[in-house]
Amino acid sequence: MIFRIARSPEGRRITRYDDYNLSVTKGMTVLDVLFRIQDDIDPSLSFRYSCRGAVCGSCAMLIDRVPRLACRTPVETIKQATLRLREFPAIETAQLRELGDSVVIIEPLPVLPVLKDLVVDMSSFYQRFEEMKLWTDPEDGQEPRTQIPAELSRFDRYANCISCAICLAACPVCDSHTEFMGPAALAKAWRFYQDSRVMNRGRYLEVAKRREGAPMCELVMNCVKACPKDVAPGGAIREIKSTGQ
Ligand code: SF4
Ligand code: SF4
Ligand code: FES
């Protein structure tokens, strides 16, 4: 199988695609392929990873024009296109159909600036959390805050986010409007707003309802389809849109 990998040795933009022809064994993931290339063929290839178990979120990249975790994507599943994302220029699939099943294209996540090869600059992604103050405020007192399962279930799925930025890379609004807060940040805001242990919950809803927040989302739901942890940010955004202060 041929792996066609986007290269940008100087950073900022893709300058060429390199082809690597590898025989793949059953169960091999895209991350395994990248290690094989780096170890045996081209040590200059750059990519990011840490946990290798879909926990750290650092190996997100565009695999055959779908944003996915490299460590969680077995090569034999790549061509079984089931996601059907609404396309925008960065994730257009017309070229894939021409190439057929023997070539896999691997590229950095779109929307975020490229640092080198498959490594993107996540600063603007994290900056949204900072700007929206998506953390709990320190409070007086030492009393434990208990929570019953029904209260936990209101935000449980949103707390599973691993900050991989796949939802942002899949979102056509993030691609065309850099000021949009994006699905991950809005899902996190909803997560705090729904948490019964948090005081001053209204501030999370207030920030999420700003012009560059939930009102900008067009409910395309690419973020829901692409999220590897079933966080469903688009569902949270729909709730934010319909909830009054
Ligand atoms: S919501 Fe899902 S896709 Fe988005 S950053 Fe979190 S885990 Fe990744
Ligand atoms: S639902 Fe909203 S945030 Fe999610 S992909 Fe669509 S426009 Fe982007
Ligand atoms: S290496 Fe951590 S999520 Fe893939």
Cα-to-centroid distance, 221 and ligand 2 (Å):
5
Give the tens place of pLDDT for each residue, 1-16.
999 999 998 878 899 9
Nearest alpha carbon, ligand 1 atom 4 = 167
- The mean pLDDT value for 99-128 works out to 95
**Which residues, judged by CB distance below 6 Å to any ligand atom, belong to the binding site of ligand 1?**
57, 161-167, 183-184, 187, 227, 229, 231, 233
Q: How many CB atoms lie within 10 A of CB 206?
A: 14
Helices (H) and strands (E) in the chain, counts: 10, 7
The SS3 assignment for 63 reads strand
**What's the farthest any 2 CA atoms get from each other in the chain?**
64
CA–CA separation, 202 vs 135, rounded Å? 13
Give the CATH superfamily of 2-119.
Beta-grasp domain (3.10.20.30)
Cα-to-centroid distance, 210 and ligand 3 (Å):
32
CA–CA separation, 106 vs 3, rounded Å? 7
Q: Which pTM value belongs to this model?
A: 0.95
Cα-to-centroid distance, 166 and ligand 2 (Å):
12
Give the tens place of pLDDT for each residue, 176-211.
999 999 999 999 999 999 999 998 999 999 999 999
pLDDT of residue 100: 85
Relative to the CA of 125, which ligand 1 atom is closest?
Answer: 5
Cα-to-centroid distance, 66 and ligand 1 (Å):
14
- Residue 63 sits at φ, ψ, to 5 deg, of -115, 115
Give the dihedral sign, CA 192/165/100/72. negative
Q: Which CATH class is domain 122-242?
A: mainly alpha
Give residue limits of the domains in the chain: 2-119, 122-242
Residue 245 pLDDT greater than 70, yes or no: no
